[in-house]
Amino acid sequence: MSDKPIIVFDSGVGGLTVLREMRVVIPDRRYVFFADDAGFPYGDWEEEALIERICDLFGTLIDDLNPQLAVIACNTASTLVMTELRTRFDIPFVGTVPAIKPAAERSRSGLVSVLATPGTVKRGYTRGLITDFAKDCEVTLVGSKRLAALAEAHIRGERVGFDELEAEISGCFVERDGRRTDIVVLACTHYPFLANMFRKIAPWPVDWLDPAEAIARQAAKFLPDVVASLPEGFDRAVFTAGTPDYPTRRLLHGFGLACN
């Protein structure tokens, strides 16, 4: 059982922010990081087409890798495809959805913003989280078309300007009746890579809520406590567009991932 890998799935390298926490919370497993970079960015996809694409990929992945668990380290996918994945396949799936509930519980001002892709912002699932868990807050949804690609560029070592980022996140900062937004939910797994830059741009300090650790803890609940030892081999990364470019390979190497 324990030598079956855990799949961490995203459209690009953003899911590495979740893998990082998975390894802290669950260090004794092998991971396969799977990036559907041929489909990136997911934020622009039609819903039905995206469901079909991800389910097709998982059909192959489960046959090839026989995983014990899969983490969908992507809000844009998880807010859409979890029911279908759980219906079609017989392994546990853990999703990554906007951390609206903890944000609403923690906010003092009652003004919470959710920074996400356009896909996540328009999902019925996301609206449902607000209705169910954040009735007493004013939630501002900010969908950015560009931030996931900017995060990819930044983490590969390209220069990303503060002004470009500012244009994307300025909608998160709301002032109303002497109150100010105090929590911004990072509802795309790419965005924690930019959090240090966001902090510098923010017109006032806010909490940037990254749910990665909570996702890792949720995943741990599906796994047996005791494993004999770490299985032989390496953690691997697989990209649907084929071998990634040199800066990406260097990034993966830094994460201790052998590449396809």
CA distance to 6, 9, 106, 175, per residue, from 32 (Å): 6, 8, 34, 43
137 a catalytic residue: no
Beta carbon of residue 96, minimum distance to ligand DGL (angstroms, whole number): 6
Binding ligand DGL (rule: CB under 6 A), the pick from 9, 31, 34, 42 is 42
Task: Give, as ranges, the residues between 118 and 137 that touch ligand DGL (CB under 6 A).
Answer: 120
Beta carbon of residue 101, minimum distance to ligand DGL (angstroms, whole number): 17
DSSP 135: T
* Window contacting ligand DGL (CB under 6 A); options: 72-80, 98-106, 193-201, 208-216: 72-80
Binding ligand DGL (rule: CB under 6 A), the pick from 68, 107, 113, 117 is 117
Task: Compute the distance between CA of residue 68 and CA of residue 101 in angstroms, rounded to an integer.
Answer: 28
Task: Compute the distance between CA of residue 8 and CA of residue 186 in angstroms, rounded to an integer.
Answer: 18
Beta carbon of residue 190, minimum distance to ligand DGL (angstroms, whole number): 5
Q: What is the largest CA-CA distance in the chain?
A: 59
Task: Compute the distance between CA of residue 59 and CA of residue 248 in angstroms, rounded to an integer.
Answer: 26
Phi, psi angle pair for 48, to nearest 5°:
-60, -45
Count residues near ligand DGL (CB under 6 A): 17
Task: Compute the distance between CA of residue 26 and CA of residue 68 in angstroms, rounded to an integer.
Answer: 13
Judge whether 117 and 148 are in contact, CB under 8 Å: yes
Handedness of CA 123, 130, 200, 245 (dihedral sign): negative
Tokens representing 120 are 């996540």
Handedness of CA 19, 21, 24, 27 (dihedral sign): negative
Question: Is 31 an interacting residue with respect to ligand DGL (CB under 6 A)?
Answer: no
Beta carbon of residue 12, minimum distance to ligand DGL (angstroms, whole number): 6
Beta carbon of residue 117, minimum distance to ligand DGL (angstroms, whole number): 4
* Window contacting ligand DGL (CB under 6 A); options: 39-47, 54-62, 105-113, 238-246: 39-47
Handedness of CA 104, 109, 110, 115 (dihedral sign): negative
Binding ligand DGL (rule: CB under 6 A), the pick from 5, 8, 9, 14 is 14
Tokens representing 146 are 């560009």
Question: Is 107 an interacting residue with respect to ligand DGL (CB under 6 A)?
Answer: no
Question: Is 41 an interacting residue with respect to ligand DGL (CB under 6 A)?
Answer: yes
74 a catalytic residue: yes
Question: Is 17 an interacting residue with respect to ligand DGL (CB under 6 A)?
Answer: no
Task: Give, as ranges, the residues between 182 and 201 that touch ligand DGL (CB under 6 A).
Answer: 188-190
Q: Show which residues are catalytic.
A: 74, 188
Q: For binding to ligand DGL (CB under 6 A), which residues are involved?
A: 10-12, 14, 40-43, 74-76, 117, 120, 148, 188-190
